[in-house]
Each structure stands twice: as C-alpha cells, then as structure tokens.
C-alpha cells in the first residue's frame, strides 16, 4: 500500500494509506516538508482551483481506528481527528451543551462534503478562514492533541491557531478534547447565497446563566470575518451579569464590532462581514435561549 503513485495533472503524487497511527507518524517524519496528512481531502482536492501545488507525498489517515472514534466521558468529549463532520453531528446530537458544535458540523458545506471533511482537517487548514468548527470549538474551550514520532502534546485551540501554519513536518493533530459543562450554546452562520457556500461570518457562543437568568460566564467566538477565527472577549465581558437577551446582545455587538478588521475577498467585502455581526449575535443568543 505504501507509496502507491497517483497521477495528477502536473506531477506524480504518492499516497500512503496508513493502517495505524505509528505508520502514519513514521511516514510523515520520513517525508518531511514534502509530505502532509490527507484526511477528508475536501481542501486538498481544490488545490488546483487555488493555484496551489500538491505535495509530493500524502499520508491518508482515514483508516486509523483511534482517529475515527469519539469518546463521551463525564467531564470531556474526546474526538479523533479523522471523525467526519457528519459523524460528529450524529454522535453529539443528544447533548444540548454541544448544540454549537453539532450545528457547525451539520450545516457546513453540503451533505456529501460533510461525509468526507474531518474535524482535524477543519482545524489544521491554515488558509481556510470560514471553517465552521473552529469558532465552535473556541467557544467550547477545546484543546488539541498533536502527535509525532517523538510523543504527543496538548495545547489550547487558541495556541494551536497561532502556531498551526508553522507546525513542523511530521506532526499530526490526533485528538480534540472538549470539556463538558452546563452551557447554553449556539452557532449562527451567514452563507451569502445558498446552502453550500462558505459563510460570510460566523458567531459561535457558549453561555452559562445563574438562577435569575443573568449571564454568569460567556465565551463568544467569531469566524470568517478575519483571516483566523478568534474570541470576542469584550463582548463576553459586556454580557456578564446582565440578563441574557438577544436585542441587548445585538446592541452591544454593534457598539463593539469596530474592533474587527474584516477580510476582503471575492465573495464578500471586509465591511460587510463586520456589519452582519450584530444580527448574527442576536440570532445566536436567541438560539441559545431556545427562542
């Protein structure tokens, strides 16, 4: 199976279908900068559309048993990096605290893509600003496990997003760890024209309220507006101690939205991505309240 050659338009690319994690890490270490993981392939397959060269070697990770499993424990959920969006949405659909992640995984792209695209690929694709699972996992305070032949380490997703474009060859995202808690969560995304489009902007949130309905903790994250998704900590702080109310949250979001420097692209201008944020915050809070 190793090094099966695959003819591509411009060059010969080899694909090693790894039967085990050890085999994948060995192959990635040997290939170095000439190799990369191949998960769902939904980003890699569009390399020619983006005028990007393919790597000389890919290591397919979809058949590694531990990367395809989801363990739901009392304190955390551990998600293998090769779990697909469809499998993730199905596995967590009965756990309301993960509504944000279920919505992110179940509404991204289209049904055929969701059967292929993986959560690890979603986090690892540095140039994909519109990835749905990234803001969802930021608001859930997720951690990422990265493995190599030399061992593995865990880091906060925020830290991983800072280093992912410079991740040394031979390192693989192997697991995503999401703590559990009694939170109200929601994911609001705005595709430009139709289902299947990349979202113009995304708001993901995870909020806990006290017995009187006032916000105790808030973690709000914004995706697709800037090149990399990030937390909206000033909005978190402004909501804490106040009753959770969609109209109020949208008003505060409108006051604070100027902190975002939107990205321009062919599908939407920067100003538009920022201008839709208050409406998405309103929708997300309403969804979290079950309204």
Ligand X SMILES: Cc1cc2nc3c(=O)[nH]c(=O)nc-3n(C[C@H](O)[C@H](O)[C@H](O)COP(=O)(O)OP(=O)(O)OC[C@H]3O[C@@H](n4cnc5c(N)ncnc54)[C@H](O)[C@@H]3O)c2cc1C
Nearer Cβ to ligand X (97/132):
132
As to burial, measured by CB atoms within 10 angstroms (0-12 exposed, 13-18 middle, 19+ buried), residue 247 is exposed
Q: Is 69 in the site for ligand X (CB under 6 A)?
A: no
Q: Is 221 in the site for ligand X (CB under 6 A)?
A: no
Among positions 128, 205, 268, 284, the unique one binding ligand X when judged by CB under 6 A: 128
Crossing angle (nearest 10°) for helices 85-92 and 99-107: 150
Q: Is 117 in the site for ligand X (CB under 6 A)?
A: yes
- Name the phi and psi angles at 59, rounded to 5: -115, 110
Give the pairing type, strands 199-209 and 70-72. Answer: unpaired
Which of 78, 85, 66, 70 shows the shortest CA–CA distance to 19? 66
Nearer Cβ to ligand X (81/140):
81
Q: Is 81 in the site for ligand X (CB under 6 A)?
A: yes
Q: Is 109 in the site for ligand X (CB under 6 A)?
A: yes
What is the smallest separation between the CB atom of 122 and ligand X, expressed in angstroms?
4
For residues 165 to 204, the per-residue mask of contacts with ligand X, x marking binding by CB under 6 A and - elsewhere, is -------xx------------------------xx-----
CA 29 to CA 170: how far, in whole Å?
Answer: 4
Among positions 13, 14, 23, 42, the unique one binding ligand X when judged by CB under 6 A: 42
Nearer Cβ to ligand X (116/155):
116
Q: Is 108 in the site for ligand X (CB under 6 A)?
A: yes
The vertex-84 CA angle with 43 and 287, nearest 5°, equals: 100
CA 140 to CA 77: how far, in whole Å?
Answer: 11
User: What contacts 24+ positions apart, CB below 8 Å, involve 156-160?
Assistant: 157/123, 158/230, 158/231, 160/123
As to burial, measured by CB atoms within 10 angstroms (0-12 exposed, 13-18 middle, 19+ buried), residue 119 is buried
Question: Which range in 3-11, 35-43, 92-100, 253-261 contacts ligand X by CB under 6 A?
Answer: 35-43
What is the smallest separation between the CB atom of 115 and ligand X, expressed in angstroms?
11
Question: Which range in 14-22, 107-115, 235-243, 280-288 contacts ligand X by CB under 6 A?
Answer: 107-115
Among positions 13, 14, 122, 185, the unique one binding ligand X when judged by CB under 6 A: 122
Question: Which range in 14-22, 69-77, 95-103, 112-120 contacts ligand X by CB under 6 A?
Answer: 112-120
Q: Which residue is nearest to ligand X (CB)?
A: 121
Return the SS3 of 5.
strand
3-state helix vs strand vs coil in the chain, percent to 5 = 35, 25, 35
Is the separation of the CB atoms in 9 and 53 below 8 Å? no
Nearer Cβ to ligand X (111/241):
111
Nearer Cβ to ligand X (106/218):
106
Q: Which residues bind ligand X (CB under 6 A)?
A: 36-44, 46, 81, 108-109, 113, 116-118, 120-122, 124-125, 128, 130-133, 172-173, 198-199
């Amino acid at each position: 199976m190793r090094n099966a050659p695959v003819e591509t338009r411009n060059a010969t690319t080899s694909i090693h279908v790894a039967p085990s994690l050890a085999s994948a890490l060995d192959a990635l270490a040997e290939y170095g900068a000439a190799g990369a993981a191949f998960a769902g392939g939904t980003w890699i397959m569009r390399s020619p559309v983006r005028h990007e060269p393919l790597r000389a070697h890919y290591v397919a990770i979809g058949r590694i048993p531990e990367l395809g499993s989801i363990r739901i424990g009392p304190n955390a959920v551990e998600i293998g990096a090769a779990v697909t969006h469809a499998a993730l949405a199905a596995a967590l659909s009965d756990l309301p605290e993960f509504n944000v992640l279920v919505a992110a995984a179940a509404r991204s792209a289209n049904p055929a893509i969701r059967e292929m695209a993986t959560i690890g690929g979603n986090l690892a694709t540095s140039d994909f600003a519109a990835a749905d699972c990234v803001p969802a996992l930021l608001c859930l305070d997720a951690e990422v496990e990265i493995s190599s032949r030399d061992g593995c380490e865990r880091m906060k997703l925020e830290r991983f997003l800072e280093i992912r474009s410079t991740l040394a060859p031979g390192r693989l995202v192997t697991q995503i760890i999401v703590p559990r808690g009694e939170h109200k969560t929601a994911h609001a995304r705005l595709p430009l024209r139709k289902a299947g489009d990349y979202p113009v902007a995304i708001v993901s949130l995870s909020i806990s309220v006290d017995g009187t309905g006032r916000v105790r903790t808030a973690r709000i994250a914004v995706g697709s507006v800037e090149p990399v998704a990030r937390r909206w900590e000033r909005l978190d702080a402004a909501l804490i101690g106040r009753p959770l109310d969609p109209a109020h949250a949208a008003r505060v979001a409108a006051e604070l939205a100027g902190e975002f420097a939107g990205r321009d692209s062919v599908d939407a201008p920067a100003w538009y991505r920022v201008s839709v944020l208050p409406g998405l915050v309103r929708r997300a809070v309403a969804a979290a309240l079950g309204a």
